[in-house]
Amino acid sequence: MPEMSKQYFTTSELASMCGVTKHTLFHYDEIGLLKPEFINAKGYRYYSFRQCYLLDIINVLKKAGSSLQEIKDFIQNQNTPLLIKLLKQKQRDLEAEQLRIKRMQDILRSAIQMTETTMEGLRDVPLIEECEEEYFIATPLEHGDDDKEFARKLSEHRDYCEKHVIDHEFPIQCQQVSDTRC
């Protein structure tokens, strides 16, 4: 056994080398994602160097948002075209997430700017500002709408903008000055 153990890594050694916990490796073994190369008579798990590479792939796919089941399916049907397809899909997912984050940053930046501008106080005279051309998406409110209906329409408005990847501003603009919700 001493000769064989030199060719393999213990659970602790593999975990340390690959930046995971022993518990993670035990869990992966339990769900059949990454089984040890062999288990000795005392129950100690041993992993091969080849499994370091496999664990790296698991970590990359997991960090890219793959579920453990997706990763397990890939490992059971390993082939290069499938890996490339999976990695490209995760790349598209991450690009979409980056776009979502950028849009949220833009909304927050706009909210901060508008709030700071409002804090400067109201002006006694009208102010004319030149701005880039903008388009507005309006959601009509009825005069008798209660707070729940207002919240429902606001939610539908946000959902529409998100679904169609339309930048939307933080503040709510209303035409009726007498409506206290605006």
Over 16-42, what HEC string results? HHHCCCHHHHHHHHHHCCCCCCEECCC
Residue 180 has what pLDDT? 41
CB contact at 8 A, 11 and 45: yes
Q: Both ends of the chain: CA-CA distance in Å?
A: 77
State the 10-residue block means of pLDDT for the chain, 182 residues long: 66 90 94 92 91 88 87 84 85 91 90 80 70 77 80 80 70 42 41
The pair of structure tokens assigned to 130 is: 């030149």
Q: Is the pTM for the entire model greater than 0.85?
A: no
Q: What is the pLDDT of residue 156?
A: 83
Q: What is the pLDDT of residue 1?
A: 43
Give the burial class of 135: count Cβ atoms within 10 A of its Cβ; 0-12 exposed, 13-18 middle, 19 or more buried. exposed
- CB distance 82 to 72 below 8 Å: no
